[in-house]
Structure formats: structure tokens, C-alpha cells
Chains A and B, each alone.
Chain A
């Protein structure tokens, strides 16, 4: 067998293994999503476990302590917020149809048909469309987050995976590095080190930022008197994890709900002011302090990454697009840098 044939066979084998791997991961995509979410949470909580370790606790005790606090907090949140949350989602599912909202949307529709010529005087059915989309959103949230089977599976599996990732994460990393050939071993470790420094800070910063924005949004919407303030505020916080699109999506939902609730634009104006102030507060105060060291990417790259991530993998793709592109950037930059230096030597 010639050297070239052997090389081609090697490439073919690697290709087949890669395709089989991707097919397998697609089949178990729900489990993969769960593992990704768990890994992210474990990664975010890692400094906390390190801090407890520095106070003299063993890794296992530190992980158990974090879990104990987490379960107590979740238990209290479950008792306090779940009835409120499920009530709000059920109301969203059943749709909204106050007379005032109907009137204002009809007026808006008439205005659009009369003034925007390319619509050609068609009946837009804005109210029905809005109601349908809101009912669909409610159903989607219920199906994805509050469906009993998926909640039970996630509530058991995610903490279970997080626990072991936190407790034995170092061993997993060591085992991963140990399978690397000697030639790439140190460079792999170097890449992981650089990635941890850049993307770790970004992820932890974004997580803290989303929590602060979520709390501020819930508070502001409650103060203004918007219905479903808890679910919209929480959504706004979570959506903030997605650059550019997130804050707009959170504000848009709050504006629509406020219009449908009161039938006037006054509350919507307050919502716009509140979200603008929160965004300003985020950009001026929270982002510079919390998300201090980011992945340093051009806004256009961030925008395209989010769009592509969303198209390929949905919301999870949008959430992870920036750190993944950041990861690719670090790998490419360090590899090229290393290759150039190698050539110079």
C-alpha cells in the first residue's frame, strides 16, 4: 500500500467517524443540549467552588455546599414564583382580547392600509396574528420549559451532570489532555488556558449581567403595572445573553403586552423609557464592571455569529454563538501565531 493510499484511508476513516459522531449527537440532541447547559453552569459556578476550596473545604464538600444553597434557593423560588409564573403562562396561552386593545390595533391597521401603498389595501388581521403569536409563545415556553416530563428530567439530570462536572472537572480535563499526542499536548493545554482566560470571563460576566438585567426588568415592569411582569422581565434578562437581539426582543414583548393590556400607548411609552434606562445603565455601569474582559470581536462579527447560530441551532445557538466564535478566533490566532514562530525558528 502506497503512502498516499494510506493517507487517504486515514482521512476517510476520520471522516466516517466524524459523520457517525455528528449523526449520533443529532439523534441525542436533547441530551447534548442538556450537557451543554450543565457544562456552562458548572463552568460559571467553578470560581465559587474554588473560593470555598481556598477557605479549606475539599472539592467535594465545596460542591455539596453550593448544591445545598442552590436547592434551598430553588425550593424557595419554586414555592414563591412558580404559581405566579405558571398562572402568567396559562394566561398567555389562552390569549388576550380586551376591547380597547382590539380598537387600537384596528385603528393602527386602518392607518397602515391607508398610508402604506404597497400593502394594496389588504386586510392585515393584525389582532388575530398578534394573539396567535402570543398564544404560540406561551405554548412554546410551556413545551420547552414547563412541560412536566421535560421539567422532571431536566431537574434531575442537569443538577446531576453539574455536580459531577464541578467535582471531577479537573480529572475530565486531564483525561482529555492525556489522549492528545505528545506533539500537540502542550499546545492543547495552552489553548485551553487562553480560552479559559478569555471566554470564561465573558460567560461569567454575561451570566451576572443577565441576572441583574432580569431583576431590574421585573422590578421596572412591576412598578409600571405591566401584566405578566415576572415572565417578561425574566425573559428580558435571559434574552440579554444574546447580543443586540436580546434586549430588543425583551422590550418588544413588554411593549406589545402593555398595548394589549391598556389599549393605549401611554404604558408602552413608560415601558420604552424603562427599558432604555435599563439599557443605558447596563452599557454605562454593568457591562464595563462585570463583563470587563470580553472576547474583543467586531460588532458585525458578533451580529453575524448570532444570526448564523440562531439559524443553525435555535436559541441555544444564539446564546453560544459569541463564545463559540470567540473560541474559534483564539484557536485560529494562536495556531497561526505558533506556526509563524515555528517557521521563523
Chain B
């Protein structure tokens, strides 16, 4: 009888723990207390994708960020389908759409069967309404994450421009 109970409840518990672990690795949700994390889990959407399925296309209306729970995703730039990044379990993308209304700047396509967690703008705005403390904490973390990405990009641009100037022949 005990085995039966264990079988009913064990997988579900493990799945919850898995989502907790993944969320805790995402900078936006890092350092959140368990009850706050529970609130976040309630507003996340869970989706399953097959291999080579388009998650979103470049130019689509963007509404939020995707977190890879399991699988692999390619971020490609149309029209040549130039691969910008390959993302794995625990990675996230599309977070800019939480803040602005501009269309998606690249397409996301699954490379393997994927399970995704989706965090969208309407839910973030609703959370800001219901729990302003938690909502603003997430917004702050989001700003920090985007700031970090901007610093990295600046660094890359700097390196690129330095290498371009150093290889340029003196006229």
C-alpha cells in the first residue's frame, strides 16, 4: 500500500523540485524565498515542443521569456538562418519581451524535443498588481540581467573594434 502512495506522489514531487532547481539558477528568480518561488511557479506556463518546432519567429509579437526545462534550442537570425546561439537545459531567452513591445529580433527553434517554462508579461503585470514587493524584485533582477548582458555586449564590441583597428593597415 505504501508503495502505491509513493508511486502516486513521488514523480510529482520530483518534478516540482526540478522546476525549483531550474528557477533558482535563473538570475531573475535567484534568491527568492520558497513561498515567492511557489507564487512564480503558479503563473508559469509549461509547454512541450517536438524537434525542429518553431517556438517563435523573428518579427512575431513578443510577450515574454522562455526557460528551457529540458532540451536544446537554437536562436537563429532570418533570412539566412544564421545561428546566434545554442541553448541548453536551464538557459533562458526572450526576456526583453517582458519589458518592451517590439517584435522578436530572432527566431527560436527546437533542436531536440523540449519542455519549456514560459513567463509572460501579462502575468508579470498581474503579479506587480497583486504582490508589488515580489513584482518589483523580479523587475529589478530583470534589469540587472539585461544590464549584465549589455556589459558583455559592450565588452564584445570593444574587443571586436580593437581587433579591427589593430589589423587595419596604416595609410
Contacts and interface: CB of A to CB of B under 8 A. Distances in A.
Report whether chain A binds chain B.
Answer: yes
| Most interface-central of A50, A174, A177, A189 (chain B CB within 10 A) | A189
Nearest to B66: A186
B57 A345 contact: yes
Contact of B122 (A47, A53, A193, A344): A193
Chain B interface category by residue count: 20 to 34
A185 B66 CA distance: 13
Interface of A: 47, 50-51, 53-54, 170, 174, 177-178, 182-183, 185-187, 189-190, 192-193, 196, 334, 338, 341-342, 344-345
Given A193-B63, A341-B59, A50 B130 contact: yes
A187 B126 CA distance: 18
A345 B106 CA distance: 11
Contact of A182 (B43, B47, B129): B47
A152 B14 CA distance: 47
A343 to B, nearest CB: 10
A186 B131 contact: no
Contacts of B59: 341-342, 344-345
Contact of B47 (A185, A192, A342): A185
B151 interface: no
A50 B57 contact: no
Contacts of A182: 47, 49, 53, 55
B56 interface: yes
A170 B43 contact: yes
Residue with the highest number of chain A CB atoms closer than 10 Å, among B60, B121, B130: B130
A288 to B, nearest CB: 24
Contacts of B64: 186
Contacts of B54: 183
A53 B130 contact: yes
A186 B64 CA distance: 9
A56 B60 CA distance: 37
A170 B121 CA distance: 14
Nearest to A49: B130
A169 B60 CA distance: 28
Interface in B113-151: 118, 120-122, 126, 129-132
B112 interface: no
B27 interface: no
A51 B57 CA distance: 37
7 contacts: A50-B129, A54-B132, A193-B63, A193-B120, A338-B60, A341-B103, A345-B57
Which secondary structure dominates where chain B touches chain A? Answer: mixed
A186 B122 contact: no
Given A186-B63, A341-B103, A192 B122 contact: yes
Contacts of A187: 60-61
Given A190-B63, A342-B57, A345-B57, A54 B120 contact: no
Contacts of B61: 186-187, 190, 334, 338, 341
Contact of B45 (A47, A174, A183, A342): A174
Interface-central residue, A186, A189, A196, A341, by most chain B CB under 10 Å:
A186
B78 interface: yes
B58 interface: yes
A47 B125 CA distance: 12
A186 B129 contact: no
Q: Which of B56, B122, B132 has the most CB of A within 10 A?
A: B122
B47 A50 contact: no
A47 B128 CA distance: 12
A189 B63 contact: yes
Nearest to A343: B59
A51 B63 CA distance: 24
A209 B29 CA distance: 41
B56 A54 contact: no
Given A187-B60, A189-B122, A341-B59, 10 more contacts: A47-B129, A174-B45, A182-B47, A182-B55, A183-B54, A185-B47, A189-B120, A192-B122, A196-B122, A338-B61
Contacts of B120: 186, 189, 193
Interface string B54-91: 11111111011000000000000010000000000000
Interface in B32-49: 42-43, 45-47, 49
A192 B126 CA distance: 13
